[in-house]
Amino acid sequence: MSVTPSAPSGAWGAPKPQVHSLAIELTAFCNQRCDYCYNAWRDDGGASIGTPDVAVVLARVDRVLDAIEVEHVTLTGGEPLASHALFPVLDRLRARHVRAQMISNGALVTDELAARLARYRLISVLVTLNGPDAALHDAQVGGAHFDATIAGIGRLRAHRVSVEGSIVLTRRNAARVGETLALFRSLGVRKIALSRFSPAGYALAFASELVPSPAEVTDALERAAAFVREERGRGEAITLFSTMPIPPCVVDLARLPEIEFHDCPIGTNRQEFVLGPRGELRHCALHRDAITTGARDVLDAGLSPLDLAALFAPGDPHGYRATLPAFCSGCRHAETCRGGCGAAAQWVAGSRDAPDPFVASSAMSATSATDERVVRRLPLVR
C-alpha cells in the first residue's frame, strides 16, 4: 500500500473533534486463545488479518491524529507486545504529545521489554487474570500462561510501570473473584477492572457456557465490594470499576457503591473509538461493523480529512444510541443504559434492536429495588 501524508483537518479551517480515547489494534496476532476474546479473527489466530507493515500503521496513526484531538490512546491487539509497531507507535505518540496506555496479557514481558516500556511513562498496562491459580486462569486463555503472566506483572512493577488488573467475569470464575482480587493485591495491583463477559466475535461460540447468570454476577460483585471494604478497613486503597455495562434492571447497582459502574459510552464524550488492524474505524472494540462508510481503511484516497474528522463528530452522528430495544421501553434507566451492550446484542441476535444478551438470558422473576419492571426470561441464542 502506498502511503500519502495528509493535511490536518484544521488546514481547512474546521476545528478538530475532541475525542476521549482511541484504541489502536496493532496486530491481529496473539499468543493466547482466550474463550472470551471479542476479536472476530481469533479462529485462525489472526493469520487472515496479519500484522500490518510498521510504516502503514504509523501513517494510519498520523492520519487519524491529524483529524482529531484525543485525550489518550490505548494500544491493544491481539497482543501489542507481539507487534513490531509497538515502540515506533509509542515514539510517534510521544512526539505528538499524546498519552498512551496498553492492554496486554503480560505473558511476553521480559526485563528488557519492561525497562523499555518504562521510558514512555504509560498511563498503565492493563493485565487480565481470570482466576487465582493456573488451573482456572489457563483453562480460559488456551494454554499454560498463568506463571508467565504473574512474572510479567512483577517485571513491569519492578521497572515502575503502572499496572492495572482485569478480571473477565464468566460462569467459570465468578465465584472466585474475591480470591483473584487478593492475588492482584499480593502483586501490588490496586486498581482492577471487573469486565463481565459479553459475547462478541470469537467468544460468541462460547456464549452458552460463559455468560454468567444475574445471580452469579451479583454474587461476584458483592464479593468484590466486600473485598474493598475489608481492604479499606486495613487502610488499603483498592479501586474497582466495571468496564462493561451491567444493566441495572438485572443487577441492583445501587447496593454496590464500592464499585464504579459505567454505561455504554458510545455517543457520549467518553467514547473510545477503535482503529483496527485493517485500518478500519469501529465504534468500540466489540463492534463487528466499521463506521468508515465508503472506505475500509482510513488511508483510502476516497476518505478526505474532513470526512474522517466527521466520523468522530461529537454526539451520536451514526445514530447508534438512537435505537432502544423494545424490551427496554418504559424503563427508567433507558436513557443511560440503552439496553446494555448493543454490540453483543448485534452479535447474538443480529440486531441492535435486541436487548443485551445478559438481559435476554436473565432468569429474574422479581422486581429489583431500582426498577419496577420484571425482567422476563428470554432465550440467549435462537
Contact (CB, 8 A) for 196 and 286:
no
Q: What is the DSSP code (8-state) at residue 120?
A: T
Question: Which residues, at least 6 apart from 99, have a Cβ–Cβ distance to it below 8 Å?
Answer: 71, 72, 73, 93, 123
CA atoms within 13 A on the CB side of 115: 3
Which pLDDT does position 355 carry in this prediction?
Answer: 83
* 3-class secondary structure per residue, 255-292: HCCCEEECCCCCCCCCCEEEECCCCCEECCCCCCCECC
Which pLDDT does position 373 carry in this prediction?
Answer: 39
- C-alpha distances in Å from residue 67, one per residue of 17, 93, 292, 306: 7, 14, 14, 7
**Dihedral sign, CA of 210, 211, 217, 221?**
positive
- C-alpha distances in Å from residue 112, one per residue of 78, 84, 208, 234, 260: 21, 15, 41, 35, 35
Comparing C-alpha atoms, which of 285, 265, 269 is closest to residue 277?
A: 285
DSSP string, 290-324: B--TT-SSTT-TTS-HHHHHHTT-SS-TT-STT--
In whole angstroms, give the CA distance from residue 178 to residue 183.
9
CA angle 246, 78, 261 (to 5 degrees): 15
Options 3.20.20.80, 3.20.20.70, 3.30.70.1060, 3.30.300.30; which CATH number does 17-310 get? 3.20.20.70
Q: What is the DSSP code (8-state) at residue 170?
A: -
Which pLDDT does position 363 carry in this prediction?
Answer: 38
Every domain of the chain and the residues it spans: 17-310
Which pLDDT does position 361 carry in this prediction?
Answer: 66
**What is the model's pTM?**
0.89
Contact (CB, 8 A) for 309 and 9:
yes
pLDDT (tens, 9 = 90+) of the chain, 382 residues, equals 545 444 555 555 568 999 999 999 999 999 999 999 999 888 787 888 877 899 999 999 999 999 999 999 999 999 999 999 999 999 999 999 999 999 999 999 999 999 999 999 999 999 999 999 999 999 999 999 999 999 999 999 999 999 999 999 999 999 999 999 999 999 999 999 999 998 999 999 998 889 888 899 999 999 999 999 999 999 999 999 998 888 888 888 999 999 999 888 888 889 999 999 999 999 999 998 888 776 689 999 888 888 999 999 888 888 888 888 888 888 888 888 888 888 888 898 888 888 888 887 663 433 443 444 344 333 333 3
CA atoms within 13 A on the CB side of 30: 30
DSSP string, 28-58: S--S---TT---GGGGGTTTTT----HHHHH
Contact (CB, 8 A) for 174 and 68:
no
Q: What is the DSSP code (8-state) at residue 144?
A: S
Q: What is the DSSP code (8-state) at residue 213?
A: P
Comparing C-alpha atoms, which of 164, 170, 171, 177 is closest to residue 224?
A: 177
In whole angstroms, give the CA distance from residue 61 to residue 81.
18
- C-alpha distances in Å from residue 60, one per residue of 46, 73, 363: 20, 13, 45
Contact (CB, 8 A) for 65 and 98:
yes
- C-alpha distances in Å from residue 58, one per residue of 55, 65, 90, 275, 299: 5, 10, 10, 12, 11
